Amino acid sequence: MDVKAIREQFPILDQEVNGNPLVYLDSSATSHKPLAVIEAIDTYYKKDNSNVHRGVHTLGTRATDKYEGARDKVKDFINASSREEVIFTRGTTTSINTVAYSYARANLGEGDEIVITPMEHHSNIIPWQQVAKATGATLKYIPLQPDGTVTLEDVKTTVTNNTKIVAMVHVSNVLGTVNPVKDVAEIAHDHGAVMLVDGAQSAPHMKIDVQDLNCDFFAFSAHKMCGPTGIGVLYGKKELLKNMEPVEFGGEMIDFVNLYDSTWKDLPWKFEGGTPIIAGAIGLGAAIDFLNQVGFDTIASHEHELASYAMEKLSLIDGLTIYGPTERSSLVTFNLDQVHPHDTATVLDSMGIAIRAGHHCAQPLMKWLEVTATARASFYLYNTNEDIDRLVDGLRKAKEYFGDVF
């Protein structure tokens, strides 16, 4: 892969931060946007801006065609069987909440179970806590192995005939664990439960095929995969979505409105109340085109190289603890001796290196790891081995700087 050519597509990378060329290792929080995405949004606002699904005028038609065209791109991107299964949302959080509010509250009651894992992001924990409180259902956790993986044996013991929903992260944003969601979906289905996959950290890095995974719901965000913030997708199987009530009511989502009663539009629009995130959807469409052009095989092998190189180099640093399994997605979560990750991140930032420090919206997982916070370096297609060398150099400096403290 020609990383230099890729990097030229990301103007933000070409800058100095605190007197050093920027090294951006925080793509799991949000990725940068290539020119193609920025220009697609720019062009929409400069030439096509209009509301969708209502204008008789030419601009309205253009905006609608672009918005709905983005839906078709998403459909192909995740291999959904129909465009009606692709709902635009504000992001992964809204997608999961839509299922929790609409599907779960209508279908769960006392005695029913929701099964998740301790490695979930808060957005795949709290909606289910709220469902449990509202419906009387029980929230259950599949235990983690010491290396931060789940075994299918444990899935089989946790999921029972009372389980109605299994919700699991595809790729952990902290551990980098890639979960066997296809096998878990099969176990869920054997017990009559539906399977929701949180794909926020997988969709940017690997080819997603929702039909092959056979999951019932799949949620992801555009901004972690080169697209804009504020837009994401909820995929759901048509037969489930058809029977679900909308969560938001108002414009755009209605068929007929009477004084005391109304009816909804067909799928997918009944879930898209209000003027949708038109520019966001168009930007997401452009991001999908960009990623397809580079190719997921190419992206995956580049990231695999980066992750292996990072693991190799980081493991040479004395006193550095790495969390998570050996087989992982393209991120490394770690702590440096007794240096608090916040302090590590500040030292690195002073050298122009951006990493994430904190609890990564995964407090239960921090508790499981028996730490209050960690540092995380995450990689994407525009990162290089030199970026990792700079990180390693920075960590040695941080160690040196704080070395005489302890």
Partner 1 sequence: MSFDNLDTLYRQVIMDHYKNPRNRGSLDKESMTIDMNNPTCGDRIQLHILVEDGIVKDAKFEGEGCSISLSSASMMTQAIKGKEVQDALKMSKLFSDMMVGKDIDEDGLELEDIQALQGVSKFPARIKCATLAWQAFEKGVSEEEVSE
Q: Kindly tell me which of 112 and 120 has the beta carbon lying closer to partner 1.
A: 120
Q: Which helix (H) or strand (E) holds 306?
A: helix 296-314
Contacting residue, 363, 385, 386, 403, with partner 1 by CB under 8 A: 363
User: Interior CA angle at 206 toward 205 and 212, to 5°?
Assistant: 150
Binding positions for partner 1, 169-208, rule CB under 8 A: none
Instruction: Return all residues near 60 (Cβ < 8 A) that are at least 6 apart.
Output: 50, 51, 52, 54
- 149-166 burial code (b ≥16 CB/10 A, e <16): bbeeebbeebbeeebbbb
| Half-sphere CA count of 172, side-chain side, radius 13 A | 30
| Backbone dihedral angles phi then psi of residue 116, each to the nearest 5 degrees | -135, -170
Contacting residue, 55, 60, 358, 364, with partner 1 by CB under 8 A: 358
Find the catalytic residue in 13, 240, 351, 361.
361
Amino acid in position 244: M
Instruction: Detail the DSSP E strand segments found in 143-253.
Output: 163-169, 194-198, 217-221, 232-236
Distance of alpha carbon 397 from alpha carbon 261, whole angstroms? 66
Binding positions for partner 1, 315-344, rule CB under 8 A: 340-343
Q: Establish whether the linkage from the previous residue to 268 is cis, with ω within 30° of 0.
A: yes
298: helix, coil or strand? helix
Binding positions for partner 1, 15-44, rule CB under 8 A: 18-20
Binding positions for partner 1, 111-150, rule CB under 8 A: none
Contacting residue, 350, 364, 389, 396, with partner 1 by CB under 8 A: 350
Candidate segments 21-29, 68-76, 233-241, 359-367, binder of partner 1 by CB under 8 A: 359-367
Distance of alpha carbon 318 from alpha carbon 161, whole angstroms? 48
| Backbone dihedral angles phi then psi of residue 201, each to the nearest 5 degrees | -100, 0
Q: How many residues bind partner 1 (CB under 8 A)?
A: 24
Candidate segments 66-74, 101-109, 174-182, 356-364, binder of partner 1 by CB under 8 A: 356-364
Q: Is 366 among the residues that bind partner 1 (CB under 8 A)?
A: yes
Distance of alpha carbon 253 from alpha carbon 337, whole angstroms? 54
Q: Which helix (H) or strand (E) holds 213?
A: helix 210-213
Candidate segments 12-20, 143-151, 173-181, 296-304, binder of partner 1 by CB under 8 A: 12-20
Distance of alpha carbon 27 from alpha carbon 150, whole angstroms? 25
Find the shortest distance in angstroms from Cβ 43 to partner 1: 34
Find the shortest distance in angstroms from Cβ 196 to partner 1: 25
Candidate segments 124-132, 161-169, 351-359, 383-391, binder of partner 1 by CB under 8 A: 351-359
Find the shortest distance in angstroms from Cβ 199 to partner 1: 25
- Tell me whether strands 113-116 and 320-323 are parallel, antiparallel or unpaired: unpaired
Q: Kindly tell me which of 296 and 402 has the beta carbon lying closer to partner 1.
A: 402
Q: Kindly tell me which of 64 and 374 has the beta carbon lying closer to partner 1.
A: 374
Contacting residue, 373, 375, 381, 392, with partner 1 by CB under 8 A: 373
Q: Kindly tell me which of 49 and 129 has the beta carbon lying closer to partner 1.
A: 129
Contacting residue, 81, 372, 386, 403, with partner 1 by CB under 8 A: 372
Find the shortest distance in angstroms from Cβ 373 to partner 1: 5
Contacting residue, 164, 205, 359, 376, with partner 1 by CB under 8 A: 359
Q: Is 405 among the residues that bind partner 1 (CB under 8 A)?
A: yes
Find the shortest distance in angstroms from Cβ 78 to partner 1: 32
55: helix, coil or strand? coil
Distance of alpha carbon 178 from alpha carbon 282, whole angstroms? 29
> Which DSSP state fits 45?
I
In the shown chain, the binding pattern of residues 277 to 316 toward partner 1, with x for contact by CB under 8 A and - for none, equals: ----------------------------------------
Contacting residue, 29, 240, 254, 351, with partner 1 by CB under 8 A: 351
Q: Which helix (H) or strand (E) holds 190?
A: helix 181-190
215 is catalytic: no
User: Interior CA angle at 21 toward 15 and 22, to 5°?
Assistant: 70
Is residue 205 within 8 Å of residue 237, measured between CB atoms? no
Which residues belong to the active site?
A: 361
* Residue ranges that bind partner 1, judged by CB under 8 A: 18-20, 340-343, 346-347, 349-351, 357-359, 363, 366, 372-373, 397, 401-402, 405-406
